[in-house]
Amino acid sequence: MQVFVEGVGMTKVERHYEKGLSHLAAEAAFKALDEAGRPGGVDYIVVANALATLQDEQLDLGGYLAASLGLRGVRALTIEAGEASGLAAAQVAASLIESGMADKVLLVGVEKITEFPSGKAYRHLQMVYDSESRSYYNVGFAADAAMLTRLYMETYGVDRELLSYWPALMHNNAKENPYAMLNFAIKPDRVSKALVIAEPLTLLDTFPLGDGAAAIVLSSEDSSSKPMARITAIESATGLGSIELSDDPLIIDSVAEAYKRLSSLTGVDRFDFIELHDSFTITAMLVLESIGVAPKGKAAEMVAQGSFSPTGPGPVANPSGGLKARGHPIGATGVYQLAEASLQVAGKFPGVQVRGAKRGLVISMNGLGSNSFVALVEGV
Amino acid sequence: MSMELSIPRFWRFKHSIYRLQAARCRSCGRVHYPPKNACPYCGSRDLEPVELPKRGKLVSYTTVYAVPDGSRQYSPIYVGLIDLGLTKVVTELTDIADPSQLRKGIEMEAVLRRTRVDRDAGLIYYVLKFRPAMGVPDVQA
Amino acid sequence: MGSVRAGVHGWGAYVPIYRLPMAEIARIWGWHPEQYRGLAVDEKAIAGPDEDSLTMGYEAARNAIARAQVRPREIEAVFFGTESKPYAVKPSATIVAEALGITPMTMASDLEFACRAASEGMRALTGMVSSGLIKYGLVIGSDTAQANPGDVLEFTAASGAAAFVIGPEKGAAAIIEDSATFVTDTPDFWRRSGEPYPLHGEGFTGEPAYFYHIESAVKALFERTGLRPSDFKYAIFHQPNGKFPVKVGQDLGFTLDQLKEGLVTPMIGNTYNASALMGFAKVLDKAKPGDRILLAPFGSGAGSDAYSILVTDAVEAKRLLAPTVEQYLARKVKVDYGFYAKSREIIYVIK
């Protein structure tokens, strides 16, 4: 795949009460366009968003953002795949370029989740799971991850304290990242003492609720001038996305499959860093194990030993601070991850810069893997 | 005047909700719940309805404090993964007066309870929740 | 009564797990212990936040159907007797019937006559079975009883359910030999439409209501059948507290021995439609073939039924097919007034 990143823009992930969807989108998009040298012809705007209908009473967000960004007439698509909307939108944007339908695509991920009190947000977030099995209940958004955590702990003999190294690592990375929502370090032992959201998960095992926007200008090889990165491949797979339907819920079938497709497509199985989907501590562990970067049951131990820390043997996990500390503006997150990965391989990430980073993996998924996306980003 | 809980969405699903009606694939034999249009395991469209047993073993569980809108009166909400033999289900758990009684492997049984209530004038959704078994018999249709 | 009789093929009960001690209510509302000791009730069972009369009735009915050893679809009538329906309009009977697999070819309705609605349903079913209109019918008595917070009624207003499958005499665990009903317009206790709690006439609920109607119904039954108190092994009455059923029983000539097995109110309070009927289920849990039972439910407004019921050989095999009343009584957890107030929605909450 010859898809090039010419410019990126991000807003800080925050409770942006004073900024709506279009304002956030503009902030990120204008930065990306400026960095790309204000290209003349954007052929498509592809918008990644999950909650605009529920939070902001807006359908066809892409259509309205076009005019709002001064791009009236541009071809527009709005892509939704729950928490994986960002990479799903990137997959569409990249395929438009690969297929020759577009030379330049503006990819914008934008999300607002603070328009209502948190109780309503939890009801919305519960929608990332299968409606037919979950929506009649009040399980909330963390119950599945909590039950998986318990299964993981029992199956592999891992205790609560060992799992707390991941949130601490995320916070440590994020405090350097000016776009991150949480900018303070925490020690692992603080995690189990925090507010319990769904036992044994605490508030420090999951992402904060925050709004944000990230944008990337993507170009075909012919129309790129000074690209900062290249997206070599994006693959995806759907899965059962269900703890009760899976024979082995401790492997996320769609993540494993998407990664397998990407590896066989690119021949790549080594990378300098990964920006992965750590909606919960447990999802990070299962993603690492599902792609084989950590053996089954060993991810937590490896995190605690520093294997994935910036100074460790690598790959470096979530130098941005991940969903946990950089934040998780749901539909926009995948675009944040790609923007961060692009800055890493360009040597320009404003936070923890992975030295000599040439190749990064980006993983995003919805819920417990109803749909998973994996992208390979490389330096130019 | 507004309705938050849909009428037909619940109504068309009531056999699954009230009786744990699942689907068995005639091709590969696997059972899944709730019923889909094709077997999620082998892809075959050859499915037949099958009612799940109302008794099973607790596999995993959690206590939820971050409860969604409209469910504060039930907090903390207990959720469990239960193995019913033919397949597993995830439901809310009920009658948990002492959470320390929840342990992997204990017997659980399904009973009918309220789950979501549309404020003062809207619908009441009733579903099957599981509780530590006391021997309520299964009555299959 | 005609020559073709009906009987109880299955019985079941349900009591929620939560118990509110009398002392807790007294603590909040400033009652002196002597003001409630006379009720002879220790604590009352209350439904949890996700329960209502419908969910309780469902479980009692499931137990009854299991004991009846019939397929749900063989049941052709469902009467739901309650004074605490979740919907004023929308029958609880159809929801329970659907959840149990009884629908669609069935009669179904919710009945109201304060605490004796389910008993009226039972009498109606005996007629429907005897006439051959249906083979099996299900009657459920279930209430999350309400009382004005701070009123003396709050001590005893409890939650519970009982259910019975009525069918032909052949194969029944207990035959309904005969029955009588005595009603008058007597406003001892009522709840106006749209109001959350009832009002009552305090002392007026005694002699002119409870005692007069139960005694009249039972005496009418004795007259029709020629039976006397000594012909019965058990006598079960509506039990608004622990004292009234003993007094009315003794006034009618029964001994404490005949009365004690059918008492549930001292342990769990007054479950309204499930009051006498749960006592009946409790007796069936241990009665022997050949035992005769007097059952006299009462409902305010007011009226009483009196049944003469004869236990058969079939009772023993059915007993262990479902949990017994004793098992439900033993399953308990103490709660405080706050939990009760939240569960029974007596705290004003913006939804």
Domain boundaries, chain A: 3-116+209-220
Chain-centre distance for alpha carbon B58: 13
Does residue C233 surpass a pLDDT of 80? yes
Judge: A123–B127 Cβ closer than 8 Å, yes or no: no
Percent helix, strand, coil in chain C, to 5, is 40, 25, 35
- Give domain status of residue B137, yes or no: no
C48/B94 touch (CB, cutoff 8 Å), yes or no: yes
For the segment B73-124, what is each residue's pLDDT rounded down to a tens digit?
999 999 999 999 999 999 999 999 999 999 999 999 999 999 999 999 999 9
pLDDT given for residue B15 in this prediction: 87
CA distance B43 to chain C (A): 30
Among A126, A132, A197, select the one facing B65 at the smallest CB separation: A197
Instruction: Give a yes or no: residue B31 inside a domain.
Output: no
Residue C164 sits at φ, ψ, to 5 deg, of -140, 140
Which of the following is catalytic: C9, C24, C43, C115? C115
> What is the rounded CA–CA span in Å between residue A105 and residue A173?
30
Mutate to test the interface with B, among A126, A201, A244, A248 (most CBs of B within 10 A): A244
Distance between CA atoms of residues A29 and B135, nearest Å: 61
Of the pLDDT bands very low, low, confident and very high (cuts 50, 70, 90), residue C3 is low
Of all residues in chain B, the one with the smallest CA distance to C74 is B141
Q: Which residues of C touch B100 (CB under 8 A)?
A: none
| C50 neighbourhood in chain B, CB within 8 Å | 74, 94, 113-115, 129
Q: Is A87:A364 a contact under the CB 8 Å cutoff?
A: yes
Is the residue at B1 inside a domain? no
How far, in Å, CA of A65 to CA of A74, rounded?
10
Task: Reply yes or no on whether C74 is catalytic.
Answer: no
Between chains, do B68 and A126 touch, taking CB under 8 Å as contact?
yes
pLDDT by residue (tens digit) across C81-96?
999 999 999 999 999 9
Averaged pLDDT for residues A46-53: 98
Distance between terminal CA atoms of chain A?
13
Q: What is the DSSP letter of C288?
A: P
Give the predicted TM-score (pTM) of the model.
0.96
Cis geometry, peptide bond prior to residue C302 (ω within 30 degrees of 0) = yes
Q: Cis link prior to A295 (omega < 30° from 0)?
A: no
C-alpha to C-alpha distance for C200 and A12, rounded to whole angstroms:
64
Min Cα separation A290/chain B (Å): 19
Superfamily of domain A3-116+209-220: Thiolase/Chalcone synthase (3.40.47.10)
User: pLDDT category, A1, cuts 50, 70, 90?
Assistant: confident
A21 pLDDT above the threshold of 70: yes
Report how many domains make up chain B.
1
Contact A119 B74 (CB under 8 A): no
* Chain B contacts to A (CB-CB under 8 A): 10, 13, 16-17, 32-34, 40, 59-72, 74, 77, 79-81, 87-92, 104, 115-116, 125, 127
CA distance C252 to chain B (A): 37
Contact A27, A18 (CB under 8 A): no
Q: Check residue C321 and give its pLDDT.
A: 98
Contact yes or no for B70 and A146 at CB 8 A:
no
Place of tokens 């092994």: C233
Q: Which residues of B touch C63 (CB under 8 A)?
A: 136-137
Average pLDDT, chain B: 96
Domains in chain C: ranges and CATH: 6-172+324-343 (3.40.47.10), 174-311 (3.40.47.10)
pLDDT more than 90, % of chain C: 98
Specify whether C261 is catalytic: no
C-alpha B102/C-alpha B104 separation (Å) is 7
pLDDT score of B46:
98
Give the pLDDT mean for A163-174.
98
Return the structure tokens found at A307.
Answer: 């294997």
Q: What is the pLDDT of residues A111-151, one digit of tens each?
A: 999 999 999 999 999 999 999 999 999 999 999 999 999 99
Q: Is C74 on the interface with B (CB under 8 A)?
A: no
Residue C112 among the catalytic residues: no
Q: How far is B128 from chain A (nearest CA, A)?
A: 10
CB contact under 8 A, A243 and B67: no
DSSP state of C243: S
Residues 33-92 (B) with a CB less than 8 A from some CB of C: 70, 73-74
Helix (H, G, I), strand (E, B) or coil at C216: helix
Radius of gyration of chain A (CA): 19
CB C62 within 8 A of CB C94: no
DSSP H or E run through C101? none
State how far the alpha carbon of C228 is from the alpha carbons of A30, A314, C190, C221, C225, in Å.
96, 91, 33, 9, 9
d(CA A372, CA A230): 21
Residue B53 has pLDDT above 80, yes or no: yes
Give yes or no for residue A269 having a pLDDT over 90. no
Asked if C98 lies within 8 A of B139 by C-beta distance, the reply is no
- Interface probe with A: pick from B12, B13, B78, B90, most Cβ of A within 10 Å: B90
pLDDT tens-digit map of A327-349: 999 999 999 999 999 999 999 99
- Of the ranges A33-42, A78-87, C2-11, C28-37, the best mean pLDDT one: A78-87
User: Which chains, if any, share at least 3 CB pairs under 8 A with chain C?
Assistant: B
From residue A275, give the alpha-carbon distance in Å to each of A284, B27, C246. 10, 40, 75
Mutation target vs C (from B94, B136, B140; most C CBs, 10 A cutoff): B136
B49 beta partners: B23
Contact residues, chain C, for B97 at CB < 8 Å:
17-18, 333
Query: Residue C280: which pLDDT band, with cuts at 50, 70 and 90?
Result: very high
Helix (H) or strand (E) holding A53: helix A52-56
Whose structure tokens read 């769990």?
Answer: C268
A194 near B CB under 8 A? no
DSSP string, chain B: ----S-HHHHHTTHHHHHH-EEEEETTT--EESS--SS-TTT----EEEEEPPSEEEEEEEEEE-S--TT-GGGPSEEEEEEE-SS-EEEEEE---S-GGG--TT-EEEEEEEEEEE-TTTS-EEEEEEEEE---PPP---
Q: B62 vs A123: CB contact, 8 Å cut-off?
A: no
The DSSP H or E segment spanning C160 is strand C159-168
Asked if C101 and B140 count as a contact pair (C-beta separation under 8 A), the reply is yes
CB pair distance less than 8 Å for B116 and A148: no
Q: How many CB pairs under 8 A join B and C?
A: 77
Q: What are phi and psi of B116, to 5 degrees?
A: -125, 135
Average pLDDT over residues C307-332: 98
N-to-C CA span, chain B = 38
* Statement: residue C264 has pLDDT above 90: yes
Rounded to the nearest angstrom, the minimum Cα separation between B92 and chain C is: 11
> What is the average per-residue pLDDT within A207-214?
98
- Range of B67's domain? 7-19+53-132
Three-state DSSP at A259 gives: helix
- As a whole number of angstroms, the distance between CA A286 and CA A297 comes to 9
With cut-offs at 50, 70 and 90, classify the pLDDT of residue C257.
very high
How close is the nearest chain B Cα to the Cα of A371, in Å?
A: 14
Mean pLDDT rounded to a whole number for chain C = 97
- pLDDT at residue C2 tops 60: no
Q: What are phi and psi of C206, to 5 degrees?
A: -85, -100
